[in-house]
Structure 1
């Protein structure tokens, strides 16, 4: 679903960032705001049949809920979420106004940290622009 939320250069930047951090384990990349989304990458061996609008609603609410629930805890600030499924993983990195969720095949904790840091940098650079 191309919505024009991202310029071609920004879409390419986030996909390149994720491909560099994750490699061939990258399944998909979706950029989202509270009201809209754009899937910017889907690995060619996967079907384009996921209900992304439902995912986005859940991931946005999930970010807000987690951020509020852990605010002021001894754990420190909320950074990102990893979800584990039978056939892969989802990592969500969100700012106050937008976010990215990435689906992958198996990764290490170090890989997740690397991609989360890279996506956070991408989102922060968009806020400055």
Structure 2
């Protein structure tokens, strides 16, 4: 679903960031805001049949819930979420106005940390329209 949320350069930067950290295990990358989303990458061997609008609603609410629930805890500030599924993983990096989730095959915790740090940097450097 191309919505024009990102310039082609920004979309390419997100994909390059994820591909660099994740490599061939990267399955998909989706940029989202509270109201819209754009899938910027889908690996060739996968079907374009996921219900992304439901995913986005859940991931946005999940971010807000986690951020509020853990606010002020001894764990420190919320950073990102990793979800584990039978056929892969999802990592969500979100700030107050936008986010990215990437799906992957198997990764190590270090790999997740690298992609989360890089995506946080991208989101922090961007001017939201």
Deviation readout 1:18-38 (Å, 9 max, x if unpaired): 000000000000000000000
CA positional deviation for 1:49: 0.1
C-alpha distance in 2 between matches for 1:126 and 1:106: 29
**Matching of residues 1-129 of structure 1 within 5 Å:** 1-127=1-127
C-alpha distance in 2 between matches for 1:27 and 1:85: 13
CA positional deviation for 1:55: 0.1
Unpaired segments ≥5 residues, structure 1: none
Q: TM-score, normalised by structure 2?
A: 0.98
Kindly tell me the number of residue pairs found equivalent between the two proteins: 129
C-alpha distance in 2 between matches for 1:24 and 1:69: 34
CA positional deviation for 1:96: 0.5
CA positional deviation for 1:128: 7.7
Deviation readout 1:84-118 (Å, 9 max, x if unpaired): 00000000000100000000000000000000000
Runs of 4+ in 1 over 6 A off after TM superposition: none
C-alpha distance in 1 between matches for 2:85 and 2:125: 30
CA positional deviation for 1:80: 0.2
Residues 33, 128 of structure 1: alpha-carbon distance in 2 compared, 3 angstrom cutoff? closer
RMSD of Structure 2 on Structure 1 (CA): 1.1
Q: TM-score, normalised by structure 1?
A: 0.98
SS at match of 2:92: strand
Deviation readout 1:20-72 (Å, 9 max, x if unpaired): 00000000000000000000000000000000000000000000000000000
Unpaired segments ≥5 residues, structure 2: none
